[in-house]
Structure formats: structure tokens, C-alpha cells
Amino acid sequence: MTAVEPAAGIFPLTDEEYFAPALASTTLSSTGAKTLLAPGGPARFRHQLDTGTAVVKREYDLGHAVHTLVLGSGPEPVLFPGTGKNPEAWQKEDDKAAVAKLRAEGKVPLRPTDFAAAWAMASAVRNHPVAAKLFYAGEPEQALIWRDPTTGVMCRAKADWLRPDGIVDLKTAESADAEALSKATYNHGYYIQAAFYLRGFRELRQLAAEPFFVFAAVEKSPPYLVHVHQLTERAMAHGDRKVAEALEIYRDCTASGAWPGYPLDEITDTDLPGWIRTEEW
């Protein structure tokens, strides 16, 4: 059966709707774009799409909780102390079962320290003079679905906070200083995400002025410092080039039905890293 392409537009989709196979199998997201661009990316992308396996990590729980408390939308954070001697440990089988039940209900179970941190982080964002203004006008967790005019690929993005004039993305971080943010931007592909989202915003909103994409980063440890930042023109231009490359890969793989990994018909020569000095070089 041929998958039906979704309609273009801006929709208040839940995570379940946004990540549902029907939408995921017919659209490309920024996460998918980053996967396609990595070595062996098309094969990894196809595997993830076919298996639909979600990874649950404790650090994701904290981030999800902060998003809900700041944006006013998302899975409910629930305080759940362990019933053993250490309330931070979920070691008893009853505790593990209760945590699994909360997750199945779509809630975010948190240990006492994480629950307190989530509220403190959200308060820090809401009390930050710049971040508070950015999160004032707009709507939380809006899904953008559009067709790329160059490749014809249907795309999707879910904006943390969609304003009439741009997008605000909330990040939790170990450190929100300038150097750490620069490294995270590259390591996690935030420059690709920003460029990808703005393509959708431009296509759907058709504003006369250029929209903006701003990150609001809040640290995970006291005093929960907040740093609002945006990427330079150089970073955004590079991100846009990578997005264009990913869209072409997705289009070609979809058309051919081939999702390549590493080379199948050759042996690759592998050298030492360029920074290694040897007697011959």
C-alpha cells in the first residue's frame, strides 16, 4: 500500500501524532536529516524508520520535564521517590514497575533531585528578562509540515515555541557558556536543525521580513543560568547547505529504494589520523 502524504500546514500535534509511523514514513525531519548526513547514514535512517525504537534515558526525562513546565505543554512531570533507603534509587521491583506504569501513561517520572531541578530550571527561564519575552507571544509545540520546493520532499519539524516572527528552541545544557554552546551546536547538529526549521517557517508563513531562530539554553545545575543565543550567518549558511544535501539524499534514496551504508564493492584504505606524526611524514 502506498503511503499517503500529509497535508502541508501548521498543526498542534502531540508527540504520539508527530512521531507516528504514518507521518514519519512520509516526511523528513531535521533529526532524520542529520542521520542521513552521517557515514552510513541512509542505511541507519532506514533501519531507525523500520524499527521505530525509542531510547529512554534519565537525562531526557529532565529535559522533557523542563519543556513542559516552561512551555505549558507536554508530558506531565511526576515526582516519584524510591521506596528503599535511598529515595534517588529505583532499585525495588515495585519501584521499577511503578515507573514503567507512569511512562506507559505518558508521564515523566522524576527522582526528587531531578524534580526539584526541573522546577528551578523552569523558574530560571521564566524569570530571565530576554527568555521570558520570547516565550510570551506564540504557541507551544507546533508541528510544521511542508513540501521542499526544490526536491519535492515533504518535511516536518516540531517547534518548541512558534512565534509570529520566528522560532524559540529550549535546550537544557551542562554548560551554557559561549564555548560550550559552540561545541554543542556542532556536535549535536543544532545548526542543521535551525536551518531546517526556518525553511519550513518561510515556506508556510511567507513573511516579508526574515524570521529568526533563537535558542534559550538553561543549565542543569545551580544556579541554573540561562543563556539566550542565536547562530551567526556563517553557521546558518553552513546548516542550510547541509539541509540541501540531506534533502537530495532522501529524495534519491526514496526514488531508488536503495539506502546505502558503507561501500559494498571496494576495500577502503584507512590511514592514521592527520595529527599523528610518523618518521616518514
The CB-based long-range contact list for 205-212 (8 Å cut-off, 24+ gap) reads: 207/165, 209/165, 211/165, 211/166, 211/167, 212/165, 212/166, 212/167
Q: What span, in angstroms and rounded, lies between the C-alpha atoms of 190 and 99?
A: 31
- pTM to 2 decimals? 0.91
Confidence of residue 209 (pLDDT cuts 50, 70, 90): confident
Residue 146: inside a domain: yes
> Could you tell me which residues come within 8 angstroms of residue 177 by beta carbon, excluding any fewer than 6 positions away?
227
Percent of the chain beyond pLDDT 70? Answer: 95
Residue 178: inside a domain: yes
> Residue type at 229?
H
Domain count, the chain: 1
Residue 36: inside a domain: yes
How large is the average pLDDT for residues 108-137? 96
| Range of the structural domain that residue 185 is part of | 9-40+117-256
Residue 65: inside a domain: no
Residue 85: inside a domain: no
Confidence of residue 1 (pLDDT cuts 50, 70, 90): very low
Q: What span, in angstroms and rounded, lies between the C-alpha atoms of 10 and 21?
A: 19
Residue 62: inside a domain: no
Residue 104: inside a domain: no
Please name which of 143, 13, 117, 128 lies closest in space to residue 61, comparing C-alpha atoms.
117
Residue 137: inside a domain: yes
